[in-house]
Amino acid sequence: MTQQSEFPGVFVDDPPAPTRPVVPAATSVALFIGRAPQGPSQPTPVAALAEIERAYGASPTIFFTSLRAFFENGGRTAVVLRLDAPEGDSAAFLAALAAAVAEGGAADAVAFNLMCVPGLVEPPAIAPLQAFCRRKRAFLILDAPAQATIQDVLQTLPMIAGPDAMNAALYYPWVETAAGPSPPCGFVAGVYARTDQTRGLWKAPAGLEASLAGATGLERTLTDDENGVLNPRGVNCLRGFLNSGIVVWGARTLHGDDGRGSDWKYVPVRRMALFIEESLARSLQWTVFEPNGPQLWQSIRLTVGSFLQELFRQGAFAGQTPRDAYFVVCDAATTTQTDVDAGIVNLQVGFAPLKPAEFVVLQIQLKAAV
């Protein structure tokens, strides 16, 4: 604020650091990759099932039924990537999939938050997808194999629960529909989108509200005891309940095994972290080439603090006060002189997720002027 004086002279005025609002990132744009008998081979955004039918045909494949399930269960925006691979040629499909998610591949430039490859169950093909989603700050929704037993699912877990698996969740069993058996990923992606819209990203996409529209049954009916075996291992079950229908009854990532002790055990906690990281990464681009010093750090703290305060006001965090719910650190303690010389700003953000846990801490690195 400008100083007021009653006598002439030269005065130094320190203007307040400028702040710019953080624009919240999208949370439920779903990338679907699979086979279709026709249509464009480049990633194509679609906002309604009718658009898919016109472009790709209404074929009774698990790819189409999964897309239908997404929109019927609350999905609003999908990006469809049709792979050119002959039906029944698994090797050709997996090769095309690997090329699509490689750096510079067809999927690499797509902006998305959720990823589904309906019916993909081969562990060697899943690890690259998990790495891809981690790099893109996205979340992978996986299907257990069709007609798998509980033992089959448990034996598969070690092969798909690697270091990047915190950005993925597994659902079991397959869903019965009027068109035949369908993998669960499309239904679940729709439930994610619906929950984000009606309750918020911080609400687990599971429970009696997480009903599956279009489901007529399940490939296997699980008992409470069987659910009790799978859930602690990080397998999310689909269940049928009287008066509630078929629902999603689990919200763990593939790092959700009780024995692992991961910060990223729960789907909403991991997705909240990805949302915050993506929102800040996009909205703090203005810091590039700004003078790297206390005024910039103050501006970043104010900008990020306002964003987190709004999330706190909406009920996104645990804690009764902002101090209990989140923190932002960006100062000489996080950004050393060596960092300044290299043009780097280090930002530390912590938030208390809506689960029994301490702060989850995110380390975010920005570029500024050298």
In 3-state terms, what secondary structure has residue 99? helix
Instruction: Report the C-alpha gap between 190 and 212 in whole angstroms.
Output: 9
Helical packing angle, 185-198 and 62-72, nearest 10°: 20
Tell me the three-class secondary structure of 11-45, residue by residue: CCCCCCCCCCCCCCCCCCCEEEEECCCCCCCCCEE
Nearest to 254 by CA among 227, 229, 231: 231
Q: What is the pTM of this model?
A: 0.91
**Per-residue confidence of the chain (370 residues) as pLDDT tens digits?**
445 545 554 544 445 556 689 999 999 999 999 999 899 999 999 999 999 999 998 888 999 999 999 999 999 999 999 999 988 899 999 999 999 999 999 999 999 999 999 999 999 999 999 999 999 999 999 999 999 999 999 999 999 999 999 999 999 999 999 999 999 999 999 999 999 999 999 999 999 999 999 999 999 999 999 999 999 999 999 999 988 899 999 999 999 999 999 999 999 999 999 999 999 999 999 998 899 999 999 999 999 999 999 999 999 999 999 999 999 999 999 999 999 999 999 999 999 998 744 455 777 777 665 5
Q: How far is CA 256 from the centre of its chain?
A: 15
* pLDDT at res. 362: 74
Relative to beta strand 114-116, strand 245-249 is unpaired
Q: Does domain 30-269 have CATH number 1.10.10?
A: no
Site of tokens 């009774």: 60
* pLDDT at res. 18: 61
* pLDDT at res. 356: 45
Pick among 1.10.10, 3.30.360, 3.40.50, 3.30.70: CATH of 287-367: 3.30.360
* pLDDT at res. 361: 75
Q: First CA to last CA across the chain, in angstroms? A: 29
Domain locations in the chain as residue ranges: 30-269, 287-367
Nearest to 159 by CA among 114, 131, 102, 121: 121
